[in-house]
Amino acid sequence: MLNPVSWKSNDGKIVRCYSHKLDNQGGRLRLIEQTLLPEKLKYVELDDTESIFDAIKRLVVRGAPAIGCAAAIGLAAIVRKESFSNSTELVNFAQENANRLAESRPTAVNLFWALDLCMREIKENINAAPDDLQNILLKTALDILEEDIQMCRSIGMHGKELLKDGMGILTHCNAGALATGDYGTALSPMYVAHEAGIELKIYADETRPLLQGSRLSAWELNQAGIDVTVICDNMAAQVMKEGKIDLVIVGSDRLSANGDAANKIGTYGVAILAKYHNIPFYVAAPYSTFDLSLDSGDKIPIEQRDPEEIANAFGRRTAPKGINFYNPAFDVTPNELITGIITEKGIFHPPFSFK
């Protein structure tokens, strides 16, 4: 599987979980540069706040679970390369940088969850020496990554029970290995089914305006040897009408306590189409994506992104200059359109109540 987020120590070791002691003080966050896909597979290594902030903001790394993992490991890299005279100085420095990283994306709740967990761990151990706190921070970050890998695998195992040979599955955006620590959320059942010899035909919405479905989902599914067909977003209704889709599985960047799900813009429309055509619509997400402080999806903040993503995407002007643009990055699918939510603990069905 792909490893979009990892830790690279100064001795060159690529570490995905805290399996051995890292004696050297340095190390860097290692990411796949997803803006270059599918033309080029390139890794970047980062250890300063603004570069990591930019990588999250600019979608070098994207997908709620991967953003959380990257922010946590990035914070560990930022703190680990510095020297501190006492633990209070380290904690204050870490908090300042965590606050900055938290400003990078407003919708993906995993970002805030992961940073809060990292800060809580070092604050609870503030009496330890600065070197020990650096190790605690790195261990916490890598444990978050390892937990995400295991949760995604569990989501895949539960979701696989919905899949049968020959089914047509529609997905929107990218909620695969590139969006998580490994396996993905929405794509994880497809990978697990493929490993079990179940043959599926996957339809990937291109996902405008940044085409994460065609650039990323189709790329990684094809790399895994899974049958995948890309369709334009506005073709989903026709493909459903033709009977090619048996099931829809999408991911989520934030779920409220009542099961409303925020996901990449266009997901809400897919859910409406699935309801009309009597096609089951599932959301796949780990517990870290649930925001139980929000009673409904109406309270989920929706990120507004640069109009240039619409007007001048991928280097070519596609709209007149001087006109207005509206570019929400996400929409919210209400719970009444969701057949079930696939989590690492199993599949939940309506009525949803996660408090």
What residues act catalytically?
253
- Per DSSP, the chain holds a count of helices (H) and strands (E) of 11, 15
DSSP states of 37-63: TTT---EEEE-SHHHHHHHHHTTSS-S
Contacts 24+ apart (CB under 8 A), 343-348: 343/155, 343/158, 343/284, 343/285, 343/286, 343/287, 344/150, 344/151, 344/152, 344/154, 344/155, 344/158, 344/286, 344/287, 345/154, 345/287, 346/158, 347/158, 347/159, 347/161, 347/162, 347/282, 348/259
3-state secondary structure of 251: coil
Place of tokens 């270059």: 36
Under 8 Å between Cβ of 268 and 230: no
In total, the chain counts a number of residues equal to 355
Going from the C-alpha of 179 to that of each of 13, 45, 97, 220, the distances in angstroms are 22, 18, 23, 11
- Could you tell me the strand order of the sheet in which 290-291 lies? 290-291, 254-256, 261-264, 330-333
Does a cis peptide bond (omega within 30 degrees of 0) precede residue 209? Answer: yes
Under 8 Å between Cβ of 266 and 174: no
